[in-house]
Amino acid sequence: MSTLRSMTAALPAIRAWIGKQRVPFAQHSKMMRWDYPLFIVALILLMLGLVMVYSASVTLPDLPRLFPNLKSTHFLRRQALFIFIGISLGLIAWRIPTDIWQKCAPYLLVLSIILLGLVFVPGIRAETGDGVTRGIKGAYRWLNFRFFNFQPSELLKLVIILYAADFVVRKQSAMKKLKGFLPMLCVLVVVISLLLKEPDLGTSVIVACVVMGVLFLGGSNMLWFAVLIPLLGTVCAAVIFFVAEKSSRIMGWWDRWNPLYAKAAYQLQHSLVAFGRGELFGVGLGSGVEKLNYLPDRHTDFLLAMIGEELGLIGVLAVILLFYWLIKRGFDIGRQALQMDRHFAGLAAQGISIWIGIQAFFHMGVNLGLLPTKGTTLPLMSYGGSGILINCVALAILLRIDYENRAIMRGGKK
């Protein structure tokens, strides 16, 4: 009986101890299963881009020579379709564990290189069909998939991140030596050579920056960067010097109001006029003047200029802040994965953030006249099927990495 009384007296203390042990699990139960704010921010950028693409492209049917038999809602309907397909592909990509992405990275890279090579094959590559223009706008960058033209370089941007992250993880011990760095350098040379042959200098620079960013975060020897950065700079300078069109673009950017470079600086001039007209609050959604066929490529390469004209400085700052938050969140997810010794996932997350950040910076810099004029779309917002699809898949992988981080912190499986 005395034993039973002592056990009964000890019950409150046992309950209190069990309650203390359950506190961490209660806290974990309040943790979101995945990053809802990141998804919402990405969705806001997609929807805002859809609205601005429609506003920017609604007057394109007024150019029947360039866009025959085009309805005013053509680009709106196609962009909405691309967003729907992109989100659907993103849902599929989100279901794939990061371990599978790591195993598939080398094979995806081979596929991307093959697709890059196919853009030079007649009958497969996309062309205007007029028998005069070389490719599309003087470049071979697209494959004709009947319903839309696919741009392999967009796929490459994501795949090269996954491959670089996998490469760093596999070659971690040898990354300090030249023999460990050379295979990645050879891959970079092959890829950039194909991109420059298209030609696509902008994507070449983005790919080089992203790869160097991933290698740097992975702990590569700084000596190789001291050699690689001047080498890539020399290649860019040589391309600009030997290609007359790019030389004129540089001069048009440098001396943008000089009548001698009026043709080369035409887009930049009208882009700056659009920002000037927008002032603080903009002229109003749909009320822009530059879209009356003054500013070319306003729904793709100069979308920010349209945002600046119609939504003003407030609209531009809102877009910049949304991208800043998205990129910062991506780096936070990557850092969290690295702290859990998930090196591939961490480097992949940070690589995706670097890619989105650099491409958004290039687009904004070109639109504002801070960088030489070069066709670079605004991620998640500019018109383009290939870009939207790959951007959605990339963000799905980022969300998957965060989901696995949270699952590990709960003490469960990925």
pLDDT digits (tens, 9 = 90+) for 241-291: 666 566 777 877 887 888 888 788 899 999 999 999 999 999 999 889 999
The pLDDT value given to residue 161: 96
The pLDDT value given to residue 234: 80
Tokens standing for 157?
């941007």
Give the span between the Cα atoms of 359 and 354, in whole angstroms.
Answer: 8
Token pair 């670097």 in the structure block, residue: 354
Tokens standing for 334?
């990557």
The pLDDT value given to residue 16: 55
Lowest mean pLDDT among 102-106, 315-319, 370-374, 399-403: 370-374
Angle CA(92)–CA(118)–CA(206) in degrees, nearest 5? 65
The pLDDT value given to residue 243: 64
Once rounded to an integer, what is the mean pLDDT over residues 387-409? 95
Using DSSP's 3-state secondary structure scheme, residue 305 falls into: helix
Give the span between the Cα atoms of 28 and 167, in whole angstroms.
Answer: 34
Confidence at 12, pLDDT banded by 50, 70, 90 = low
The pLDDT value given to residue 145: 79
Once rounded to an integer, what is the mean pLDDT over residues 8-27? 47
Comparison of pLDDT for 222 and 264, the residue scoring more: 264
Comparison of pLDDT for 137 and 277, the residue scoring more: 277
Q: Which of 15-29, 163-177, 277-291 has the highest mean pLDDT?
A: 277-291
**Looking at the predicted structure, is the pLDDT value of residue 71 above 60?**
yes
Query: Between the CA of residue 92 and those of 96, 270, 317, 356, 394, what are the distances in Å?
Result: 7, 41, 33, 21, 12
Give the span between the Cα atoms of 101 and 98, in whole angstroms.
Answer: 5
Once rounded to an integer, what is the mean pLDDT over residues 374-381? 91
